[in-house]
Structure 1
């Protein structure tokens, strides 16, 4: 969860060449993989510190650590992975990105997104979503309040900071069309590496952000924003972002590992739901470069939204996958038929208590 929704542009662009790239990759067995380690489980038994043999397992993040990932860090810190016989290392993504690392088998698990998995599936890339990290889409278009952007109609005549992604353009057009607004009247500016706060002071009026991070940061900085959540304009845009992903081969070859990893991960996110302050401290301790005030405020806002109105953390609804897939097809964003039943599974979540 970066300061802006830059990940959208990056995620959509990798899928076109991914299928070809995978042909050149040698599938690994799900070992440590590449990237930079961010956290590692302690190889001690949870019941008294007695050493035991733990299985090394890696999970790769989508971006730098943030409150989307707190459940993973909590599962490490609280010994939930150890209880399942796992020593989990949390990695930051390499140059190819988390999805490529998971799809190729370089690592068994990673943080992904419904939109990128949808595109990957129609290209024959066997990514599978195992759990929704957050039940409802917390992203949307944000602008400083002095730009007077109160609805999609107000995008007209304004400068949008993005990365030229087809999905960005389609989402913006989709919600502007509902209000009879003309998307061609929006000036698109490439933000480059600038964050939201730098860009709106420099040359843009609005951008796509995750409220849980950038929106909270704006509040802490005393820089009020107007936030237009995309889910409020279409049920099809209330998709899962982010998700926990694996690949079909991992599920086929070692379903027990998938089950054990997801049981502990679920416990980590449930811990973060029930103990937001303590979970924030765990993330701060694991990643000391993060702003503690931002982490604590973000965690307080986000923790209830992990599970929200679902019966348990991680559950995914077929209609959410179907609706978003149909929307992508209607926007000519897919290059083939999408079978939502193969894109996700709830089978490896623990049984609800």
Structure 2
């Protein structure tokens, strides 16, 4: 899925300066089943709207959000959720930092980049997926099972400086040189670049999406985890907001997180219902979902949403600090920043 991540953080800075107004161009849909049904009632009039900008169109990564909408958990907290899909470079950061959205669903490394490279004051208020989902993957017939097997191979990626750093770190960790493998920018075509033989492997695909999607197409897939090959452990997906919003609207954001956690617990207990609620909210025009793929995706996300000592939504200052150091050492960021300035704890 990281082939669909937008990487020009500078756009966020431009929005903060008023150069471009992305809110008017962002595809959006107010979703929420019973929220719409009750909108004419006095109770519905009391619901407070929360706008949430996703990293992409609805998929398994967002199952907790859509489950909480369909099960009415946000309404129980007095909230109505407006989900918006990105149409410009990392809208989840640019729109929240500019006050055009309440919450963004995005990536820990991008929050660090925004703060360090662009001085954009966005913070994470909770971790949606504690474990990494970005993997280096290849088709089975390439027989790439370790980083050492990448020597002499072509690796496709989406042009991200971060994924370049992942590959270079992995190669170095395996005792290889940077030029022992060739990086090729394949844009958004991570899967097709492999299936057509343009590259031998790719970095940036999600174990929770591209892997089951390729398997559903009949391919055998091997994948290698960057965090088992030199890259520090990190949190993949986080809920983002502006520092100002976190201070001024802590109560509303806390209620959002409480309801989202209820969605997580419900999906954990009823994964089939979670998939059903997700499929109800798919964007069939731009990103239709396959039930079998999303069933596998949700199972994977559930297995990665928490880890020992790190329950759903919790955040580790040590994890952020380790990644800041690694990003500085690899040139992904140009200056160091303090993890404490990017983490806000609103729920236990």
Q: Structure 1 residues 169, 198: CA separation in 2 closer, same or farther (over 3 Å shift)?
A: closer
User: Which residue number in structure 2 is paired with residue 79 of structure 1?
Assistant: 72
Q: How does 1:1-20 map to 2 (within 5 A)?
A: 2=1, 5-7=2-4, 10-11=6-7, 14-20=8-14
Structure 1 counterpart SS, 2:202:
strand
Compute the RMSD of aligned alpha carbons.
2.5
Distance 1:68 1:88 in 2: 17
Q: Structure 1 residues 119, 193: CA separation in 2 closer, same or farther (over 3 Å shift)?
A: closer
Shift of 1:301: 2.6
Shift of 1:44: 7.4
Question: Once the two structures are superposed, what CA deviation does each residue of 1:106-159 show, in whole Å capped at 9, x if it has no partner?
Answer: 101011111110011113201111111111112210001211212112222111
User: Which residue number in structure 1 is paired with residue 184 of structure 2?
Assistant: 189
Contact 1:284 1:290 in 2 (8 A): yes
Contact 2:173 2:230 in 1 (8 A): no
Shift of 1:76: 0.4
Q: How does 1:140-289 map to 2 (within 5 A)?
A: 140-208=135-203, 209-234=205-230, 236=232, 238-287=233-282, 289=288
**Count of residue pairs the alignment pairs up:** 338
Contact 2:4 2:188 in 1 (8 A): no
Shift of 1:179: 1.6
Where structure 1 has 5 or more consecutive residues not aligned to the other structure, the ranges are: none
Shift of 1:226: 1.3
Contact 1:277 1:300 in 2 (8 A): no
User: Which residue number in structure 1 is paired with residue 108 of structure 2?
Assistant: 114
Contact 1:41 1:87 in 2 (8 A): no
User: Which residue number in structure 1 is paired with residue 330 of structure 2?
Assistant: 331
Distance 2:202 2:310 in 1: 33
Shift of 1:199: 3.7
Question: Once the two structures are superposed, what CA deviation does each residue of 1:81-122 show, in whole Å capped at 9, x if it has no partner?
Answer: 001111111111132422111111110101111111001111
TM-score by length of 1: 0.88
Shift of 1:166: 2.0
Q: Structure 1 residues 81, 207: CA separation in 2 closer, same or farther (over 3 Å shift)?
A: same
TM-score by length of 2: 0.89
Contact 1:45 1:82 in 2 (8 A): no
Distance 1:17 1:93 in 2: 13
Contact 1:273 1:306 in 2 (8 A): no
- 1:105 matched to 2:95? The reply is no
Contact 1:127 1:245 in 2 (8 A): yes
Q: Structure 1 residues 186, 313: CA separation in 2 closer, same or farther (over 3 Å shift)?
A: same
Shift of 1:205: 0.8
Question: Once the two structures are superposed, what CA deviation does each residue of 1:268-299 show, in whole Å capped at 9, x if it has no partner?
Answer: 12222222111011101221531111111211
Shift of 1:42: 3.0
Aligned mate of 1:67, from 36, 60, 74: 60
Distance 1:134 1:75 in 2: 16
Structure 2 counterpart SS, 1:169:
helix
Q: Structure 1 residues 191, 212: CA separation in 2 closer, same or farther (over 3 Å shift)?
A: same
Distance 1:57 1:114 in 2: 21
Shift of 1:72: 0.6
Where structure 2 has 5 or more consecutive residues not aligned to the other structure, the ranges are: none
Distance 2:87 2:154 in 1: 32
User: Which residue number in structure 2 is paired with residue 320 of structure 1?
Assistant: 319
Question: Once the two structures are superposed, what CA deviation does each residue of 1:153-207 show, in whole Å capped at 9, x if it has no partner?
Answer: 2222111111332222221111111121122132222213424145432411111
